[in-house]
Amino acid sequence: MSDAVETIAVLGTGIMGAPMAERMADAGFTVTVWNRTAEKAASLAGKGIAIAAGAVEAAADADVVICMLSSGPVCEAVLAGPDGVIAGMRPGAVLVVMSSIPVETAVALATAAAERGIVCLDAPVSGGEKGAKEGTLAIMVGGDGAVVGQLRGVFACLGRATHVGPAGSGALTKLANQLIVASTICAVAEALTLAESGGADPAKVREALLGGFADSTVFRQHGLRMVEGNFEPGGPAKYQVKDTSTAIAFARTRALRLPVSEEVDRLFQAMVDHGDGDLDHSGVILELRRMNPRGGNSA
Amino acid sequence: MSDAVETIAVLGTGIMGAPMAERMADAGFTVTVWNRTAEKAASLAGKGIAIAAGAVEAAADADVVICMLSSGPVCEAVLAGPDGVIAGMRPGAVLVVMSSIPVETAVALATAAAERGIVCLDAPVSGGEKGAKEGTLAIMVGGDGAVVGQLRGVFACLGRATHVGPAGSGALTKLANQLIVASTICAVAEALTLAESGGADPAKVREALLGGFADSTVFRQHGLRMVEGNFEPGGPAKYQVKDTSTAIAFARTRALRLPVSEEVDRLFQAMVDHGDGDLDHSGVILELRRMNPRGGNSA
């Protein structure tokens, strides 16, 4: 790839892809988008963004192809194979997969891309719709470090990019992020359950610990949901358990024991098995109550 | 107690008690201190603070007695019994136990105090020496809420006090705090271990996740220690495990299962059993490496 990126294709214009495409167009890049359901891309047409009829058409002339489709299997279906996007891209172009995908998929896509002279970066994000709109995403990038440097201007539109290691490392870092979030939610749920069992007021306990060593974004936001009993998602537990179980499965391929994370995964799995998968992940406190029918305020 | 607190006794002038006594004297209270090792209290004499020869003498005329001794058993030895501080306090005075003590000890002291017409609050703190010096401690108060209100001016010298429930609730809230800290440390250690096992650079992973949902004071401070391999305490693991095992033991008295916290306690216990109890609690990542001898960077 030459250093100067001019044309960018964005595959997938959902709640993340659409604002990301807009930000890049606003920054002066020539942006073409494609979305499986065409209507979802239509609103971008008025904003100087071209709409392509197919993924391969969108990607054919692009310097950089950004993939923000919904899952690993969807990315593979659109990107890989003889009729896929990788087969249709210009050699020398760069593919950036920003969906959260399994580590193995990231490595397989990078290998397939390399066979065609294309560099593929796995670059999942954290920060949600708000981060996508405001250009404040945390972007965890695995793959060729020199190419990450060449895309500096593209990433700068979207947020803060950190090169974390070779292909697959971005996907793995996202799993690490999800494990920490899931474990912290469980820690807060168990601590509030303990406090309540001894007669303390969980809302006051949360208030008392604000600003101390136990404080965190999870503690503030998910702790508040637990105290208020508000489990509207947010982040549905069924997606949370998908991430924790993907992380644990990857650890097993490395014969790696992660005892606390394994317990966290089991707890979220039990929550989903008991029918609460559509609740916010902070609802894991309900699973603790289910597990402890005689628990609760004993004062 | 009359609403106006004038005289305060501080029992225990270690790294926490001494600066707390100074702050209260600076605020205009008449402060008398006692310390088992008299030399440690001597430096306070030049600061308008009286030094008493014994704990009972220090407490006899005080409106408020603040106990900042080193542990539950030491507090009981000094406060309880026929020759103890409670027996020598004025009826109507208030005892505030700010040491971290077991919930059962807090309840027992409150009961013994009530028999003499004395209110006892359990009010452990978070924020360490820095918080004590700067008056920014988080103070978790269990006991009579009306009395907590009367001591507003005293607590205001020391930090931010939150009344969390009846006697024992302050001690319990401190345990909840310690459980969250311990669990978050384990979560960060496991996530970094996972990332490293797949070839990502742990230092870059930490950098990538700053500012996101996985971020916290623990993530920043203890994550940095793990990345740098700096396990100078800080907070020695042997004290951490004392707190987690006290919390788990209390949960058992309520027949309460806390599966993630139990695993966290086991992990810290294994770290101490393997001889690393004097390392900072972030050194729990070494226990994960010991558990996973084939783990680590496989790239």
Question: And the tokens for B36?
Answer: 């088992």
Residues 6+ apart with CB under 8 A from B48: B25, B31
**Could you give the 3-state DSSP secondary structure of residue A272?**
helix
Asked whether residue A299 carries a pLDDT value surpassing 50, the answer given is no
- Rounded to an integer, the average pLDDT of A55-66 is 98
Q: Which fold has domain B173-291?
A: N-(1-d-carboxylethyl)-l-norvaline Dehydrogenase; domain 2 (1.10.1040)
Residues of chain B with CATH 1.10.1040.10: 173-291
Residues 6+ apart with CB under 8 A from A4: none
Of all residues in chain A, the percent with pLDDT exceeding 90 is 91
What is the number of CB-based contacts under 8 A between chain A and chain B? 280
pLDDT tens per residue across span B149-186: 999 999 999 999 999 999 999 999 999 999 999 999 99
* CATH number of the structural domain A7-166: 3.40.50.720
Contact B127 A212 (CB under 8 A): yes
- Return the active site residues of B: 174
Selected residues 263-292 of chain A with any CB under 8 Å from a CB in chain B: 263-264, 266-267, 288, 291-292
pLDDT tens per residue across span A5-41: 999 999 999 999 999 999 999 999 999 999 999 888 9
Closest CA to B238 of B285, B186, B273, B188: B273
Please indicate if any CB of chain A lies within 8 Å of the CB of B29.
Answer: no
Residues of chain B with CATH 3.40.50.720: 7-166
Q: How far is A29 from chain B (nearest CA, A)?
A: 25
Contact A164 B298 (CB under 8 A): no
Asked whether residue B298 carries a pLDDT value surpassing 50, the answer given is no
The least confident of A132-136, B1-5, B190-194 is B1-5
CA B167 to chain CA centroid, Å, is 16
Contact B198 A103 (CB under 8 A): yes
Question: A263 to chain B: nearest residue by CA?
Answer: B260
Question: A188 to chain B: nearest residue by CA?
Answer: B180
Q: How far is B258 from chain A (nearest CA, A)?
A: 6
Contact B267 A247 (CB under 8 A): no
pLDDT tens per residue across span A134-153: 999 999 999 999 999 999 99
The least confident of A60-69, A81-90, B210-219 is B210-219
What is the maximal distance between C-alpha atoms in chain B?
A: 70
**Could you give the 3-state DSSP secondary structure of residue B140?**
strand
Interhelix angle B169-197/B202-209, nearest 10 degrees: 130
Catalytic member of A40, A47, A130, A174: A174
- Least CB–CB distance from A140: residue in B184, B188, B208: B208
Asked whether residue A2 carries a pLDDT value surpassing 60, the answer given is no
Of all residues in chain A, the percent with pLDDT exceeding 70 is 97
**Could you give the 3-state DSSP secondary structure of residue A159?**
strand
pLDDT tens per residue across span A142-191: 999 999 999 999 999 999 999 999 999 999 999 999 999 999 999 999 99
Confidence class for position A298, pLDDT limits 50, 70, 90 = very low
For residue B260, which phi and psi values (nearest 5 degrees)? -70, -45
What's the predicted TM-score (pTM) here? 0.92
- Whether a cis peptide bond, with omega within 30° of 0, leads into A234 is yes
Enter the DSSP assignment of A90: P
Question: And the tokens for B273?
Answer: 């059993």
Residues 6+ apart with CB under 8 A from B112: B79, B80, B86, B120
Which helix (H) or strand (E) segment holds residue B189: the answer is helix B169-197
| pLDDT confidence of residue B244 | 96
Please indicate if any CB of chain B lies within 8 Å of the CB of A124.
Answer: no
| pLDDT confidence of residue A115 | 97
Query: Burial level of A299, CB count in 10 A (0-12/13-18/19+)?
Result: middle
